[in-house]
Amino acid sequence: MAAATAVCALALAGCSAENFTFGPDGNKKHLRPVSSQTMALMREKGMSKESPILLRIYKEESELEIWKKTTAGNYELLRKFPICKWSGELGPKVKQGDRQAPEGFYSIRPELMNPHSSYHLAFNLGFPNEFDRAHGRTGAHLMVHGDCSSSGCYAMTDEQISEIFALAREAFDGGQLAFQVQAFPFRMTSANMTRHRNNPNIPFWRTLKEGSDHFEVTRQEPKIDVCAKRYIFNAVPNDPMKPFDAARPCPAYHLQPEIAQLIQKRQNSEGNDITSLLTRNMPAAPVRTNNDGGSNPAFAGRVPLSSVQAQQQAEADDEDETPRPAAKKQSEKQPAAGEKEVGGAIAAASAGLKYVPGATAAAAEFSQFLHALKRAKPRNKKSAGILPALFRFSLLVFF
């Protein structure tokens, strides 16, 4: 019972399994150079390989954008990637185990990059940030990673995360201390804000839109602060001796006049658009879809298999088409010490993980359990996916 509790706790933690890896990773996947296609785009757009980057994520559209600073000093869109999978509903992550992918503004420092991820490559979003902590939000290990499999994270293909990782590495090498990730529920347009007007998260989303507007009108990374438990953008305190504090009321502050004018102009224009859409009775979107996240239409019918799914498919093919080999003779068996390693190798392979020599023979029991799960007839499709997933996390707990 205690073991099951530990497995469930780890499963609820988000993409926490990504902090573990089986065996040495000698392929230096994190050192892969920026692709020739992206290098050509950078030359075309007047960007250097080492210039700063900024990422924008849109859940509903399942898209991730990479923006990069040009030689003129402004951020311009470099590349747009379809997101393979994200989990949960539209809305922020509130508590550990809710399967929600975070929304908000996050700062990614070099130490949050994981070149040894079980999900090919990954970087930690740094959830909870100052805003999240002020609201008592819980959770950990919320990532953008590869392997096209998500539990509270944003999952990309291995090829995509390799390119993102390479661009981040070059930006850090060029002197960028941290890059900003702006995670939104959808593109922050007047139409989308109108469609989602009945969602209880709309006050929070209006704040996110304000931050989005600051980036859109300036093409500069907005300075993020938190006071009175809310985000504020490009704010300058009137009294430098009264800094912003997430848990305290906001001190008097102001915006630079040129930014304030641009923001006001944009808000006036979009306010008129929203009024027009409401006058035309634009239908409201449902508050909940009852779907677990989404995937970009680019992957429709051809979502790449995760490493776990690929291994399970290979095992199924072997069971269906390949005769089982005859049992080995006694003389062909491995030494007793070697037998202790066999269970670990089988269980790690069954879960799509790398194997560390020295795993205990108890792993053989886990492997048998996995095969039992695969042959069982679950009562519904949902439990069919949950049980193998919990088993995969159990490997990480007991090894």
Average pLDDT, the chain: 80
Task: Give backbone dihedrals phi and psi of 226, rounded to 5 degrees, phi first.
Answer: -135, 130
Question: Is the per-residue pLDDT at 194 higher than 80?
Answer: yes
Transcribe 68-97 into DSSP letters.
EEBTTS-EEEEEEEE-SEE-S-SS---STT
pLDDT at 128: 98
Domains of the chain with CATH codes: 14-299 (2.40.440.10), 307-320+336-398 (no CATH)
Residue with tokens 């039992």: 372
Classify residue 112 by burial, with Cβ atoms within 10 Å: 0-12, 13-18, 19+.
middle
Q: Which residues of 113-124 are buried (b: 16+ CB within 10 A; e: fewer)?
A: bbbebbbbbbbb
Question: Cα(34)–Cα(344) distance, rounded to whole angstroms?
Answer: 36
pLDDT bin (cut points 50, 70, 90) of residue 14 is low
The CA distances from residue 148 to 185, 245, 332, 349, 381, in Å, are 19, 38, 40, 18, 19
Higher pLDDT, 370 or 111: 111
Instruction: Identify whether the C-beta of residue 354 lies closer than 8 Å to the C-beta of residue 120.
Output: no
Range from 15-24, 70-79, 221-230, 298-307 carrying the lowest mean pLDDT? 15-24
Half-sphere exposure of 174 (CA within 13 A, CB side): 17
Mean pLDDT calculated for residue range 164-188: 98
pLDDT at 294: 94
pLDDT bin (cut points 50, 70, 90) of residue 266 is very high
Question: Cα(250)–Cα(229) distance, rounded to whole angstroms?
Answer: 9
pLDDT bin (cut points 50, 70, 90) of residue 44 is very high
Range from 1-5, 13-17, 46-50, 74-78 carrying the lowest mean pLDDT? 1-5
pLDDT at 149: 80
pLDDT bin (cut points 50, 70, 90) of residue 300 is confident
Mean pLDDT calculated for residue range 354-370: 41
Max mean pLDDT range (26-35, 195-204, 319-328): 195-204
Instruction: Point out the residues that are catalytic.
Output: 145, 153
Higher pLDDT, 27 or 389: 27
The SS3 of residue 61 is coil
Rounded to 10 deg, the angle between the 2-12 and 381-398 helix axes is 100
Question: Cα(178)–Cα(108) distance, rounded to whole angstroms?
Answer: 5
Mean pLDDT calculated for residue range 181-190: 99
Task: Give backbone dihedrals phi and psi of 31, rounded to 5 degrees, phi first.
Answer: -100, 10
**16, two tokens:** 């926490």
Higher pLDDT, 150 or 29: 29
Question: Is the per-residue pLDDT at 310 higher than 90?
Answer: no
Question: Cα(117)–Cα(30) distance, rounded to whole angstroms?
Answer: 10
pLDDT at 52: 99
Question: Is the per-residue pLDDT at 252 higher than 70?
Answer: yes
Question: Cα(336)–Cα(187) distance, rounded to whole angstroms?
Answer: 60
Mean pLDDT calculated for residue range 373-398: 45
pLDDT at 332: 38
Instruction: Identify whether the C-beta of residue 229 lies closer than 8 Å to the C-beta of residue 249.
Output: no
The SS3 of residue 230 is strand
Longest Cα–Cα distance of the chain, Å, equals: 84
pLDDT at 302: 59
The CA distances from residue 36 to 42, 75, 159, 298, in Å, are 10, 21, 13, 22
